[in-house]
Structure 1
């Protein structure tokens, strides 16, 4: 048996004193409904607008596109307005490519061009439950 394999066998077989004495961290407490509602209200309040849209010019990670506003929930954007959008590669960065004819709902944050991020219906339903938008 080689020396290095004996060392590995001993490391795996013997408990490390530091790890054996460390307390197990307590489980994270899930947020309360009040905290969730507060976060939803803060998100809605900090956004420039929440709009329904239709993509009128395709957008990719290499090319900006255009959406037309069909409804404004905070009434800060005119329905019919055309807004420039951009997309990012990867699902963590946005909603992927914006294909012409796609309809959806998204927050406007910052200045144009806006990042293309479609808002799932579950979020809209939560905003409606709080009375921030009309029910679907």
Structure 2
């Protein structure tokens, strides 16, 4: 029985409609950034790298990292280019930053969460990979519904 319920719930993860994602009402993101596996200084340095990359793109300076963004096909965010999405995110408002455990010593992945409309609603799940040299190698942004738990 538990397995059946788990499979039922798993089938809906990431496929909620915008209305279903808004059922919790308005819950603003925490005012203090939530950190997991890194210090405030490390999180601030990562945010600074992302903001520097945004500024470089705005000023037509070469940015060599891979940039991907998308969403469920029916969401409006799937119509926006990855570059426009990246440039629109106010990285200072990212409310959660996690270091992802990795065996790869040449790159370090991080996961950031940005909820433009508050918690419990559609949000940007952002993965940033920083290379051995400290430069951003890849940014992946997925606009999705929160888990139904």
Query: TM-score under structure 1 normalisation?
Result: 0.29
Query: TM-score under structure 2 normalisation?
Result: 0.27
More strand by share: 2
* More RCO (CA 8 Å, sep 6+): 2
Larger Rg: 1
